[in-house]
Structure 1
Amino acid sequence: MSGQDDTDFDDPGPEPDAPLTRGEPQGGIVIGEFGGGAVAAGPEATAEDSSRRLGVSSTEIPPPSVAAPPPGGIAIGRMTGGAAASGPGARATNRSEHFIEATPQLIEALALLSVHDGELGTEAVDIEREVRTNGGVEQGRLRRLAALAGRATATVGGQTAAGVAAQTIIGMLA
């Protein structure tokens, strides 16, 4: 023997419910709903997600049932973004962009904050510009704005325009 596995890879594989033996692909990935990200299966498979997406994923419709994939494969019931790969050396990379949509509530909150002096007002104006250009704002920028508004609220009380805007933004991020 040469020390190599003598499994015949042209063989279609074991019968259902038959135990796996050495050299056969192991398992697989089953995903009912895949709203973004990256998934990879198989020897030396890699997955990377550096995404930024617009909007919030809806969970109103339950994910479909998904049949088990073939050994080493991937089965996805519903995929609305992301990347999937299967097989030896498979790579899955997702570089989509995720933004919070420009809702009327967000526009109103930005208007309330943009009249403030200093960093809070400057950030609100910059985000307003991003919203008009892209139709939304990057989640991280909105988190930063909410923190700035929260600090401004803490210094003068929670019933200020900054407090109302901060609560609106925090609600959008939840």
Structure 2
Amino acid sequence: MKLACTMAPGRGDTDLVLERLANALAARGMRCCGTVQINSPRADAGPCDMDVRVLPDGAVLRISQDLGSQSRGCRLDPVALETAVGLVAAALSPEVDLLIVNKFGKHEAEGRGFRNVIAEALAMDVPVLVGLNTLNRPAFETFADGLAVELPPDPAVLLAWVDMVTNNAPSLGGGAGLQTACLG
């Protein structure tokens, strides 16, 4: 199984890493499917607006809701998320080089969101790279059942992993440096 996750330490850093990776892969002519998250600061200094761009060059959907300045609840718009899931599911095929999912989040942890799309991609032998956060790590580990590799949020390492799992690289020196930690 070709499943990996990455997690950057700062708020929103994983989103930036995955967006840059998707752009680099597109520039190389690779066929990526999935979503990358774009966080935009708000004029009112509230929490950022969250959008996802459907890969490769699809719709940009606002997945955050404005619940007001005093709100402390979850701002995710589940309808927008499921719209993104539907668009990605419709574009997924065995010809895709890589599925990128911006985050294995609460919805995926609860069995919704991109969870089935990830499983479908793996069944098609399409490599999958997901963003992860500490909160949802246990659910991802259960989902992955010890078969995922955790990669550092280093662009060179991520590109090397993609090359390895898509057979785009003749040799990676055994790949031992890529498996920084196995989940499970």
TM-score, scaled to structure 2: 0.24
Between structure 1 and structure 2, the one with the greater Rg is 1
TM-score, scaled to structure 1: 0.25
